[in-house]
């Protein structure tokens, strides 16, 4: 048999039927459909108008995360439109028989944090959600990708999706990252190298020693940002670390079934000699802590670097884009990134708000104080992460240092709720997008790892975590 990639194995196992067209898309079966309040109301409305039902409500799970306030959960949502949207999700879940983890649930959280946490995310699955960071779930060796609202409606109605087979790309991280260099730095370095459209049309499989050495949290961070390189999905073959993470999770198979599942999951890896449409290799040992300086995640550099000069870019379009970005970010070419003063810190998002992320930030913060004039926020990725952190006393560490300690949600990752940057404020953020206005109109976002963001909050400016005493 021809050697196949991990992607091909999962894809082939989910093809219901191939449309009889030359470049024919395929009808792909979906094992798990995650739903949230922002991209689903129009889909449910579409079902109602057409008199259609949800084909497999038991394979569909909903949570409210994007627009929810992160303050006191006992208070009603004050934003009327946000309240209406969260209310619509609850009503739709009830009407169509879908399980919902709502604001009152101790299992509520960012959809890409709770999927794995509940053990819903499992190797070999096809997982979709009306959210581009669905790629996160690929960390478990699932094929997981974001879809639009019309496609959400299509999956609700048919449990299938019509998709063109994407191309494959292997991204190999060789060597071991230096101390202070995290999963976030690896993925930012990749995006810096191949650009925000570098993997468009491709599913990335991450391989190599540095990836094997990552925890599941770290792997999720890497897969999460695949979309920022333009990729359809990112995935990592499952191994003992993945199985250990899943064991005992509420929705993972139990007992004998788990053992059998693991035996199946072990076959989920690319065969020797399998070919990819594209290949990129990076030396993890040469990656330093990364920080973005511009208005997309590809505008990134080592913390020891300086703000680039637009004149140094090859094409006119790039020069123009960099000029625009520097004007928006209020940065002068040649300014060292280290030492850049910041006003805000955001520790959160589906990229970096899992327990390991909070632990690494807390280690930096312990016994210190946030710099004068800096406002710092911790928004755990889920209520379970929050509870775990509190059990470990991390909330006290953050609070004593002057951080605000919140309930879970997307929060200032996209600023749909009241957590936003004021115009001109500069933020050290652990999220995934530094687009213009993403965290608030006129707000300036620098993406980095949790430890780097925490250290920036204490110092009041960007720092090189490798020299943090």
Partner 1 sequence: MTPFVRHAGRVAALPRVNVDTDQIVPKQFLKRIERTGFAPVLFHDWRYRADGSPDPAFELNQPAAAGASILLAGANFGCGSSREHAVWALREHGLRVVIAESFADIFYANCCQNGLLAVRLVTGEIAELFARHTRAAGRYDVVVDLEAQTVVDDAGFHAAFSIASYHREMLLRGLDEIGRTLLAEGQIAAFERERWNAEGGTAGRASDLAVPRSDFRVPRSGEGDVA
Residues of this chain that bind ligand SF4 (CB under 6 A): 66, 110, 112, 131, 133, 349-350, 410, 413-414, 431-432
Cα dihedral sign for 352, 115, 434, 322?
positive
Nearer to ligand SF4, 252 or 414 (CB): 414
Helices (H), 168-254: 183-194, 209-212, 216-224, 240-246
State how far the Cα of 46 lies from the Cα of 366, in Å rounded to an integer: 51
The least distance separating ligand SF4 from the CB of residue 76, rounded to whole angstroms, comes to 22
User: Could you tell me how many residues of this chain bind partner 1 (CB under 8 A)?
Assistant: 97
Question: Which residues ranging from 2 to 31 are in contact with partner 1 (CB under 8 A)?
Answer: 9-10, 12-14, 16-17, 19, 21-25, 27, 29, 31
Question: Which residues lie across from 344 on neighbouring strands?
Answer: 375, 427
Question: Which residues lie across from 68 on neighbouring strands?
Answer: none
Q: Phi, psi (5° rounding) for residue 199? A: -120, 15
Q: Choosing among ligand SF4, partner 1, none, which partner's interface includes residue 213 (Cβ < 5 to 8 Å by kind)?
A: none
Question: Which residues ranging from 196 to 215 are in contact with partner 1 (CB under 8 A)?
Answer: 196-197, 200-201
State how far the Cα of 384 lies from the Cα of 358, in Å rounded to an integer: 13
Nearer to ligand SF4, 270 or 295 (CB): 295
Question: Which residues ranging from 212 to 271 are in contact with partner 1 (CB under 8 A)?
Answer: 227, 230, 232, 250-251, 253, 257, 260-261, 264, 267-268
Q: Choosing among partner 1, ligand SF4, none, which partner's interface includes residue 345 (Cβ < 5 to 8 Å by kind)?
A: none
State how far the Cα of 456 lies from the Cα of 467, in Å rounded to an integer: 12
Q: Choosing among ligand SF4, partner 1, none, which partner's interface includes residue 393 (Cβ < 5 to 8 Å by kind)?
A: none
Q: Choosing among partner 1, ligand SF4, none, which partner's interface includes residue 304 (Cβ < 5 to 8 Å by kind)?
A: none
State how far the Cα of 95 lies from the Cα of 163, in Å rounded to an integer: 28
Among 71, 73, 88, 193, binds partner 1 (CB under 8 A): 88
The least distance separating ligand SF4 from the CB of residue 224, rounded to whole angstroms, comes to 8
- If one counts every other C-beta atom within 10 angstroms of the C-beta of residue 139, the result is 33
Nearer to partner 1, 353 or 365 (CB): 353
The least distance separating ligand SF4 from the CB of residue 271, rounded to whole angstroms, comes to 33
E strand or H helix at 28: strand 26-29
Nearest partner of 131 among 379, 432, 444, 428, judged by Cα: 432
Nearer to ligand SF4, 385 or 459 (CB): 385
Question: Which residues ranging from 436 to 455 are in contact with partner 1 (CB under 8 A)?
Answer: 436-438, 441-442
Among 154, 184, 269, 426, binds partner 1 (CB under 8 A): 154
Question: Which residues ranging from 89 to 118 are in contact with partner 1 (CB under 8 A)?
Answer: 99, 101, 105-108
- CA-based angle 278:282:287, to the nearest 5? 150
Nearest partner of 182 among 461, 454, 458, judged by Cα: 454
- If one counts every other C-beta atom within 10 angstroms of the C-beta of residue 179, the result is 7
State how far the Cα of 401 lies from the Cα of 396, in Å rounded to an integer: 8
72 binds partner 1 (CB under 8 A): no
58 binds partner 1 (CB under 8 A): yes
State how far the Cα of 87 lies from the Cα of 67, in Å rounded to an integer: 12
Nearer to partner 1, 183 or 229 (CB): 229
């Amino acid at each position: 048999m021809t050697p196949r990639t991990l992607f091909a194995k999962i894809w082939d196992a989910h093809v219901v039927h191939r449309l009889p067209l030359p470049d024919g898309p395929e009808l792909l079966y979906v094992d798990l459909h995650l739903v949230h309040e922002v991209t689903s109301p129009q889909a449910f409305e579409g079902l109602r108008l057409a008199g259609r039902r949800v084909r497999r409500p038991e394979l569909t799970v909903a949570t409210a995360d994007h627009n929810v306030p992160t303050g006191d959960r006992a208070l009603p949502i004050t934003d009327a439109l946000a309240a209406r949207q969260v209310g619509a999700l609850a009503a739709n879940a009830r009407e169509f028989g879908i399980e919902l983890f709502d604001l009152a649930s101790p299992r509520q959280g960012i959809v890409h944090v709770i999927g794995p946490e509940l053990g819903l995310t499992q190797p070999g699955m096809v997982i979709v959600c009306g959210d581009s960071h669905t790629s996160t779930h690929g960390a478990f060796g699932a094929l997981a990708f974001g879809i639009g609202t019309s496609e959400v409606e299509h999956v609700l109605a048919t449990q299938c999706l019509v998709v063109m087979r994407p191309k494959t790309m292997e991204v190999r991280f060789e060597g071991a990252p230096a101390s202070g260099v995290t999963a976030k730095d690896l993925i930012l370095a990749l995006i810096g190298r191949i650009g925000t459209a570098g993997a468009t049309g491709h599913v990335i499989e991450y391989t190599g020693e540095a990836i094997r050495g990552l925890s599941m949290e770290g792997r999720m961070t890497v897969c999460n940002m695949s979309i920022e390189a333009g990729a359809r999905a990112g995935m990592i073959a499952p191994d003992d670390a993945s199985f250990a993470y899943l064991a005992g999770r509420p929705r993972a198979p139990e007992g004998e079934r788990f053992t059998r599942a693991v035996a199946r999951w072990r076959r989920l890896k690319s065969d020797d000699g399998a070919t990819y449409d594209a290949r990129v290799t990076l030396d993890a040992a040469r990656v330093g802590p990364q920080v973005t300086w511009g208005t997309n995640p590809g505008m990134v550099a080592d913390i020891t670097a300086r703000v680039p000069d637009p004149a140094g870019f090859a094409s006119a379009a790039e020069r123009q884009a960099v000029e625009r970005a520097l004007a928006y970010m209020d940065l002068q070419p040649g300014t060292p990134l280290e030492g850049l003063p910041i006003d805000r810190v955001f520790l959160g998002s589906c990229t970096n708000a899992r327990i390991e992320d909070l632990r690494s930030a807390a280690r930096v913060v312990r016994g210190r104080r946030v710099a004068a004039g800096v406002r710092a926020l911790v928004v755990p990725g889920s209520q379970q992460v929050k509870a775990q952190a509190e059990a470990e006393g991390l909330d006290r560490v953050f609070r004593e240092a002057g951080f605000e300690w919140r309930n879970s949600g997307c929060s200032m990752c996209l600023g749909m709720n009241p957590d936003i940057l004021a115009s001109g404020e500069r933020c050290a953020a652990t999220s995934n997008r530094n687009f213009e206005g993403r965290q608030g109109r006129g707000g300036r976002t620098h993406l980095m790892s949790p430890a780097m963001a925490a250290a920036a909050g204490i110092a009041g400016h960007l720092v090189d975590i490798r020299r943090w005493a």
